[in-house]
Structure 1
Amino acid sequence: MPTLILDNGGYTIKAGFSTVDKPRIIPNCISKARSERRRPFIGDQIDDCRDTSGLFFILPFQKGYMVNADTQKTIWDYCFSKDVLDVSPSETDVVITEPHFNFKSLQEAVCELLFEEYEFRALCRTSASTSADYYYSITEGASKKTLCTLVVDCGYSFTHIVPYVNGVKVTESVRRIDVGGKALTNHLKEIVSYRQLHVLDETYLINQVKEDVCYVSTDFSGDVAISKKKLSENNTIIREYVLPDYSSIRRGYVRKVEETGQRAKSTEQILRLNNERFTVPELMFHPSDVGIPQMGISEAVVTVIESFPEPLRHHFYDNIVLIGGTSCFPGFKERILQDVRRDASIYADTNVFLPQNPTTYAWEGAKKFSQDPEFSKYMVTRNTYNEKGLNAFVKICDI
């Protein structure tokens, strides 16, 4: 039987059998809408909702960790159902990703769900960055015969900078930054609510706005200078976002550049975005701007690499891998490359690798690992777990 690959993120679940080319991406939440109070929308059922204004979310993850097992089970029930993945747990092996430094009680909760509630045949526990490192080492890194890889995992609740030497995570050098996609969306909500419209209850909408118009600046001071200009003075940063009315417009969209500044139609409500487009993603590089006393991503990357002996630093600088949905911002890769080159203490070839789809790269790595001859060593059967509990996971994939 094929192995089920379950990249269980805080924002989305990337799930699919090892026989398929692409995973199914399902929001890891239960949504409730004002327009349909009686019906909860599980996962991607939200696509069936006619009016997504004022959505209320029930999340199994908080601050990057699965703290609500009941909610997670409800979402998994939907994912494993015949209409979605059609999983027969008793005949299926499963690979699941967990966050780094996961608490033991939460590890136990996940294992109990998968083994005792669903009764999967066998389980392999790993992390998204470990899967990404494995996939990179046998594809992009194979030609370089690389020894060291630095994986930057930009997720929903956090960003992890994780170094690997010969495929083994160097735990004491891992850095976590408490800024991810969720913090950026919340910050954009506050800015827009202060300047234009009250949208503090519109998380779903503002998240779409963030994904559609925001970008990472590679010349922050230059972009600030441009954003201070009026539209008539050649301000190339301003964009206008047409908000949905949930009747004729189901999803908001960005107006064409040549239409920017033109009078809105009677059916259109316009949200104008200027410096918000680049100042919101800038939080990833300067978390202290919103009171988070931590270093930014670029600084953390250099700090982690510089903690290693000089012979290894060249390899790390040459193999920086970006994964996670938050790394999809335009300009993100270029900004990391620019900052790291500037701050590196030694002259070295710096290479930043951004996969074609950073969101599913970890899933693809786990899928590839499930076909490895060594894979069976990391699998724990249900019977073994019943005898030894968490101690059965002696060979764990570097969580």
Structure 2
Amino acid sequence: MDSVVCLDNGACSIKIGYITDEKPKVIPNCIMKAKSEKRRPFIGNQIEECRDISGIFYILSFTKGYITNWEVQKNVYDYIFSTEFPVNFSDTKLIITEPLFNFPIIQEAMVEIFFEEYDCCAMAKTTAPDLCYYQYTNTQDLDEPPLCCVVIDVGYSFSHIVPFVKGKKVLSAIRRIDVGGKLLTNHLKEIISYRYLNVMDESYVINQMKEDGCFISQDFNSDMANAKLKYPENKIAREYVLPDCTTIRRGYLQPPGTAKKTDDYQMLRLNNERFAVPELLFHPLDIGIDQMGLAEATIHAINACPEETRPHLFANIIVVGGSAKFSGMQTRLYKDIRSMAPEFFTVNVTVPEEPQTYSWYGGQYLANDPNFEQSLITRQDYEENGARGVLFDE
């Protein structure tokens, strides 16, 4: 088989690799600028070379879940294809993901860039939930692969609940929540800036703090009551040692009072922020977003599907995306969905070991699908019909 590259084009990070690779490379999908080195932009993984990570400014290619800055996206592609992951597209087929309900003009631009700028020989467009469906249905240890599943994709800008029935998305049942990883990081910045010190310019550090210190509460009221107690009765409170960019490259959590008097570290005390921030995924109304939470939206999406498919959908729920990494996600989602689902249905919620890269692995199964060749847009098709012709002339 010809070599095939799978590129999962996320708003936060790009996951790329040959389908024969064991795992993909994960590269930040942005350009960053630091106060200490104003003249030099850091593209993707180059941020590891930055000496001072305080006050890093992000220039993103995505706005509200869709590519709007093609100049930034093109620079990120150039960096990846020349340095991080050199690839010759003239003899390599490409699988690339796009957002759900992507705008036609963005689809056209994507096709034009890969055929005109990178001399691509053939490409197949899909979505991350589609690849998750391929991965899930092909890796379940069952006599027959499940015909239905629900993909909960907790992304950077949004969270989507996408039901699949017999390999096809039920478009009318897809639900979107305007809460994702970016909003959680921004909310944590606001809380810390209000309570302790101004960190509104510290997106990079606070995002790491969110990843290291936050978790999903299983009983919000009980955890909130515990957070009011003094240490050591308080089991929630932790100190987060901030990076100083010399001895400490990335911050870390430690129990309160661990630091010695001789330690010259700057620390922030984290208490109920640790679970109150991820709680927005379940209760967006807490900050004025008048929408359903993940569990309620999942019930809503499943009930919008044909009645005979619902038992199968409840039994095959998969949670992916960077924010699925929060500890307690699987237990909380199962508990909430179980409490709202009909009692005679089996509910099964799966959070894979690597939810951020889960969709990329689905590209391996897509490339081996008998219908894969038919889904390709070839260079000949593009030259004969143009971008609009190959995308919408059906």
**1:301 and 2:298 equivalent?**
yes
Aligned to 1:283: 280
Aligned to 1:128: 128
Q: Is the 8 A contact 2:170 2:305 kept in 1?
A: no
SS in 2 for 1:179: coil
- Show CA shifts across 1:16-67 (max 9, x none): 1122111000000001011111111100000111111000111000111001
Deviation at 1:129, TM superposition (A): 0.3
Mapped to 2, the partners of 1:176 and 1:53 lie a distance apart of 33
Pairwise mapping of residues 154-193 of structure 1 onto structure 2 (< 5 A)?
154-193=154-193
Deviation at 1:394, TM superposition (A): 6.7
Root-mean-square deviation (Å) = 1.6
Aligned to 1:58: 59
Mapped to 1, the partners of 2:224 and 2:317 lie a distance apart of 29
Amino acid of the structure 2 residue aligned with 1:249: I
**1:368 and 2:358 equivalent?**
no
Deviation at 1:354, TM superposition (A): 1.1
Amino acid of the structure 2 residue aligned with 1:278: F
Q: Is the 8 A contact 2:108 2:391 kept in 1?
A: no
Deviation at 1:347, TM superposition (A): 2.1
Amino acid of the structure 2 residue aligned with 1:343: M
**1:337 and 2:334 equivalent?**
yes
**1:392 and 2:390 equivalent?**
yes
Deviation at 1:145, TM superposition (A): 3.8
Change (3 A) 1:270 1:299: same
**1:199 and 2:196 equivalent?**
no
Aligned to 1:320: 317
Mapped to 2, the partners of 1:282 and 1:11 lie a distance apart of 21
Q: Is the 8 A contact 2:138 2:145 kept in 1?
A: no
Aligned to 2:48: 47
Aligned to 1:13: 14
Deviation at 1:372, TM superposition (A): 2.3
Deviation at 1:333, TM superposition (A): 1.0
Amino acid of the structure 1 residue aligned with 2:234: N
Deviation at 1:369, TM superposition (A): 1.2
Mapped to 1, the partners of 2:145 and 2:207 lie a distance apart of 40
**1:228 and 2:228 equivalent?**
yes
TM-score (structure 2 length as normaliser) = 0.96
Deviation at 1:141, TM superposition (A): 6.6
SS in 2 for 1:316: helix
Aligned to 2:75: 74
Mapped to 1, the partners of 2:179 and 2:187 lie a distance apart of 11
Q: Is the 8 A contact 1:377 1:395 kept in 2?
A: no
**1:355 and 2:356 equivalent?**
no
Q: Structure 1: any 5+ residue segments left out of the alignment?
A: none
Mapped to 2, the partners of 1:390 and 1:4 lie a distance apart of 24
| 38-47 or 138-147, which deviates more | 138-147
Mapped to 2, the partners of 1:261 and 1:343 lie a distance apart of 43
Deviation at 1:220, TM superposition (A): 0.7
Mapped to 1, the partners of 2:5 and 2:81 lie a distance apart of 10
Amino acid of the structure 2 residue aligned with 1:235: N
Deviation at 1:395, TM superposition (A): 11
**1:246 and 2:261 equivalent?**
no
Q: Is the 8 A contact 1:244 1:250 kept in 2?
A: yes
The share of aligned pairs that are identical, in percent, is 49
SS in 2 for 1:151: strand
Deviation at 1:306, TM superposition (A): 1.7
| 384-393 or 62-71, which deviates more | 384-393
Mapped to 2, the partners of 1:308 and 1:372 lie a distance apart of 26
Deviation at 1:263, TM superposition (A): 5.2
SS in 2 for 1:126: strand
| 83-92 or 40-49, which deviates more | 83-92
Mapped to 1, the partners of 2:313 and 2:306 lie a distance apart of 11
SS in 1 for 2:86: coil
Mapped to 2, the partners of 1:144 and 1:192 lie a distance apart of 50
Mapped to 2, the partners of 1:67 and 1:392 lie a distance apart of 22
| 54-63 or 339-348, which deviates more | 339-348
SS in 2 for 1:231: coil
Deviation at 1:390, TM superposition (A): 3.3
TM-score (structure 1 length as normaliser) = 0.95
- Show CA shifts across 1:252-295 (max 9, x none): 1112x3x5465554411110000000000000111111121211
Amino acid of the structure 2 residue aligned with 1:92: T
Amino acid of the structure 2 residue aligned with 1:251: R
Aligned to 1:95: 95
Deviation at 1:345, TM superposition (A): 3.2
Q: Is the 8 A contact 1:164 1:170 kept in 2?
A: yes
- Show CA shifts across 1:216-238 (max 9, x none): 01111110110111114x10000
Amino acid of the structure 1 residue aligned with 2:65: G
Mapped to 2, the partners of 1:265 and 1:329 lie a distance apart of 33
Deviation at 1:92, TM superposition (A): 1.5
Mapped to 2, the partners of 1:141 and 1:100 lie a distance apart of 29
Q: Is the 8 A contact 1:93 1:122 kept in 2?
A: yes
**1:4 and 2:5 equivalent?**
yes
Aligned to 1:377: 374
Q: Is the 8 A contact 2:132 2:359 kept in 1?
A: yes
Change (3 A) 1:142 1:384: farther
SS in 1 for 2:84: coil
